[in-house]
Amino acid sequence: METVEKLNWLTVILFLSMGVTHLIAPFLFGWSAIGMFVFGIFYASLGFLVHLKKENKVVSILSIVIPFIGMTLATLSLLVSFWLYLFLVCILFDPPVIILRIYIYKQT
């Protein structure tokens, strides 16, 4: 298994993990976290799409843009009111996924 393929698997795992953590947020914190639920659907879908459509350029670009939008919205939300769960999810998942997906995009 070559490096790009291994990194692709890592991003699939991260996308699915992001999807799960975002999907359970409304059940933990109430429906005020509905935005996280919506992004959980996006992230889980991207996890499956990145796995199934590895060579598709549109999926590759979406796998960079959607986490960037999510990270930007989370950062703006954190400026309004600090929320530790959102901060940790934003810091732990989004930047590594964006960096890895840019690297994979440039290599393919």
Q: Going residue by residue through the chain (108 aa), what tens digit of pLDDT does each one get?
A: 699 999 999 999 999 999 999 999 899 888 878 989 999 999 999 999 999 998 899 999 999 999 999 999 988 888 888 888 888 887 788 999 999 999 999 998
- Residue numbers of the domain that contains 66: 3-107
**pLDDT, position 81:** 83
**pLDDT, position 55:** 86
Quote the tokens at residue 60.
């590759």
**pLDDT, position 106:** 93
The tally of CA atoms less than 13 A away on the side-chain side of residue 67 is 32
3-state secondary structure labels for all residues of 56-102:
CHHHHHHHHHHHHHHHHHHHHHHHHCCCHHHHHHHHHCHHHHHHHHH
**pLDDT, position 1:** 64
**pLDDT, position 29:** 85
Per-residue CA distances from 75 to 29, 33, 37, 70 (Å): 18, 14, 17, 9
